[in-house]
Chains A and B, each alone.
Chain A
């Protein structure tokens, strides 16, 4: 084997330039495929982390009819024993109750249909953490005057702030992003801008009877903290649901659609409003490992635990079929692109093989004539081809590794319209890479398959080799 390896290795460098070109083509294919796939999978992960882990959860426990008919009538009894039993299952990080319904919200002459999400403020912190979405800064006319009065800020910056009057922000980073200030401007003027636009807000306590109103809805209803909002709707089994609720806080939801219609309240307050004592519409479950395999395994485990056959566990992709299909479709189109890339590279490798066989036909004949078994010669050629693929593969993987690591820990920050659009959809405006996973190792499998497929040609030629003909060249 050592001798075969030696001959194969030296054969590889007989035509140094050709070997370098072929290896380089494999290198670039592996490098780009790995980076592209890592970004693609990283963005899906990011999307799932942001959207699924903060809204849907990896799994939800629901009434069997709730998915098709999301009414409060399709709620179920909530007690700690269910939660305790579910938490016993491996890989579960959090179990958070939700009671969701729709009502009309009214203040003065303003009325609007809204979505009500009732939460346990303590448990919810581990899940969507609405406290982090409380409005912390709001640029009002007064704030603008305050900024101007400080007399220190450049006119250009004042102009940028003026364009943002009426907007609210849940973090200073978001203001920085929106104002588009330079690093120098940030250092000089941001403390004053933040000071003048600071917004005093509140949150819900455990059994609070107050509500949190989303920023745009608060603007529509013309309510501020301390004002009251009347909610009117239909409760459990058709009872009338009416109540008046003080506004404890304003939250900023990046998605304008949700920001226009969301009210958050505590579960006891919602159960009282909807006359749904002890009921919830969903138990939202998040997992430590979000692979489909684990999600399916946990789903099966939970369903086996349930005594009430009217309740079932649903995965995030069952709850968001359109999003799941979009991710699948996008992933498949990415794979198709990589398939085309590898297909082209395969022909490059095959071209090298054709040349190699054509050049070495006589040599193959000599080797067999002097006593080298064909299977041994086949082994030499296979080793040579594997080495050719391995050089490009290993270099490609090694070159992509630091980039994947760097952009995993330091994702690209998206600015401008694309960044704003992503934030408006409720995602962090960043583009991270995915951690090393099957996609990384699959490159090795693909290259190996390509190389072995290309090797079939010389193996067949050697198998059919007739010494006399080969010796004639």
Chain B
């Protein structure tokens, strides 16, 4: 089932004297439960493309359609609600809410969605257990290691069962062991929860584990390979 479709998407930055064509006529489709990596050298447009897919930025032209909804047609507040209900985010620098515990961070999205307390608790424990933090549910981010924080971020991204999760360089700040653990967890959750994961990454370990690798150069898709 198709969860995301990009049609001739362009993003041009005019803020500097030179026009920068950050995303150049990208057309892509993502199916349910894909585990895809967007790779490419620095400045190739990976993060910009991820921001466009996540509705954090708007394309200069083209269409981004998620579950039948064209993001360009949504107002700012509708877009926020759309992200809340359809997209999970994992950021490079974790970006957990520092004043909330691991459990509260994970259930935050569900609270915004007004889930009943019992369901919220059940889902939170299930996810924190799945990411190996069942014993640290009441720890605040400052008491967790980088790898643990990123695992909480993954649990948060998956909490409300979004259509897909966007992960921008999720392993960039992690050591090798933590990165491997995180990737294994994400792959397992991708398999168990049937949620699409889209990464932008430089990390060869991510590329190795990804089922699909999209390569960008100068904002253009130069290759789109699916592994068997």
Contact = CB atoms under 8 A, between A and B. Distances in A.
B21 to A, nearest CB: 17
Contacts of A7: 97, 99-100
A374 B83 CA distance: 13
B81 A371 contact: yes
Identify which of B76, B80, B84 gathers the most chain A CB atoms within 10 Å of its CB.
Answer: B80
B213 interface: no
Interface string B65-91: 000000000001100110111000101
Contacts of A375: 77
Contacts of A412: none
A363 interface: yes
Contacts of A341: none
Nearest to A3: B111
B51 A10 contact: no
Interface in A363-390: 363, 366-376
Contacts of A376: 112
Interface centre among A3, A10, A371 (most CB of B within 10 A): A371
B156 interface: yes
Contact of A369 (B54, B76, B81, B98): B54
Interface residues of A, number: 21
Interface string A301-320: 00000000000000000000
B144 interface: no
A126 interface: no
Contact of B97 (A367, A369, A468): A367
Looking at chain B, what size class is its interface with the partner chain? 20 to 34
Contacts of A468: 51, 56-57
Contacts of A467: 56-57
Interface in B90-123: 91, 95, 97-100, 108-109, 111-112
A140 interface: no
Contact of A370 (B77, B99, B109): B109
B56 A369 contact: yes
Nearest to A14: B99
Contacts, number: 55
A10 B100 contact: yes
Given A468-B51, A468-B57, A371 B99 contact: no
A335 interface: no
B85 A370 contact: no
Contacts of B51: 468
Contact of B84 (A10, A370, A374, A471): A370
B91 A373 contact: no
Contacts of A363: 95, 97-98
A203 to B, nearest CB: 76
Interface of B: 51, 54, 56-57, 76-77, 80-81, 83-85, 89, 91, 95, 97-100, 108-109, 111-112, 156
Contacts of B95: 362-363, 366, 471
A385 to B, nearest CB: 16
A172 interface: no
Nearest to B94: A366
A370 B111 CA distance: 12
Contact of B91 (A371, A372, A374, A471): A471
Nearest to B140: A10
A370 B51 CA distance: 12
Interface string A385-405: 000000000000000000000
Given A10-B100, A374-B80, 7 more contacts: A7-B99, A14-B98, A370-B83, A371-B112, A374-B76, A374-B77, A471-B56
Interface of A: 3, 7, 10-11, 14, 362-363, 366-376, 467-468, 471
Contacts of B100: 7, 10
B95 to A, nearest CB: 4
Contact of A373 (B56, B81, B99, B111): B81
A362 B91 CA distance: 12
The interface centre, meaning the residue of A7, A369, A468, A471 with most chain B CB atoms within 10 A of its CB, is A369
Nearest to A370: B89
Contacts of B109: 370-371
B158 to A, nearest CB: 12
Contact of A366 (B57, B91, B99): B91
Most buried by A among B84, B85, B91, B99: B99
25 contacts: A3-B108, A7-B97, A10-B99, A10-B100, A14-B99, A362-B95, A363-B97, A367-B97, A368-B80, A369-B54, A369-B56, A369-B83, A370-B83, A370-B89, A370-B108, A370-B156, A371-B84, A372-B80, A372-B84, A467-B56, A467-B57, A468-B51, A468-B57, A471-B91, A471-B95
Nearest to A4: B111
A362 B111 CA distance: 21
A180 to B, nearest CB: 62
Nearest to B84: A371
Contacts of A368: 80
A322 B137 CA distance: 72
A322 B98 CA distance: 62
B54, B95, B100, B109: which has the most chain A beta carbons within 10 Å?
B95
The 8 closest A-B pairs by CB, nearest first: A371-B84, A10-B99, A366-B95, A467-B56, A371-B83, A3-B111, A468-B57, A468-B56
Contacts of A371: 80-81, 83-85, 109, 112
A10 to B, nearest CB: 4
Residue from A7, A366, A370 with most neighbouring chain B CB atoms (10 Å): A370
A251 B91 CA distance: 89
Contacts of B83: 369-371
B185 to A, nearest CB: 19
Nearest to B58: A468
B89 A369 contact: yes
